[in-house]
Amino acid sequence: MIQGDTYYFAVHLSKYYPFSKRVDRNYYKVEISNKSEPSYKFYTIKELSENNKYIEAVSIPPKKEGYFLEREEKHRNEY
């Protein structure tokens, strides 16, 4: 979503992380923006990349890596 000179990019998750916010049961999201707003849990890429809990979370390999690689290959040239 873009509002004026601010953008928001949402990553939807089924698991809670300290940098995510709860939307519903088993449904969370991380919102990345070019403008930080910690009270709403909007983070810049720089803030996330310096967050130890984020670094730990993205270091975990996917459980079904083949599934995601297959999807990436299938949809690579769609956009």
Q: How many Cβ atoms sit within 10 Å of the Cβ of residue 33?
A: 19
Q: What is the pLDDT of residue 10?
A: 96
Task: For residue 68, name the pLDDT band (cuts at 50, 70, 90).
Answer: confident
Tens digits of residue pLDDT in 14-50:
999 999 999 999 999 999 999 999 889 999 999 999 9
Cα 72 to the center of its chain, rounded Å: 17
Pairing of strands 2-3, 6-13: antiparallel
How many structural domains is the chain composed of?
1
Positive or negative CA dihedral for 12, 72, 52, 26? positive
pTM, two decimal places: 0.74
Expressed as residue numbers, the domain containing 35 is 2-75
Q: What is the pLDDT of residue 57?
A: 95
Q: What is the pLDDT of residue 7?
A: 95
Pairing of strands 2-3, 42-43: unpaired
Bridge partners, residue 9, by sequence: 32
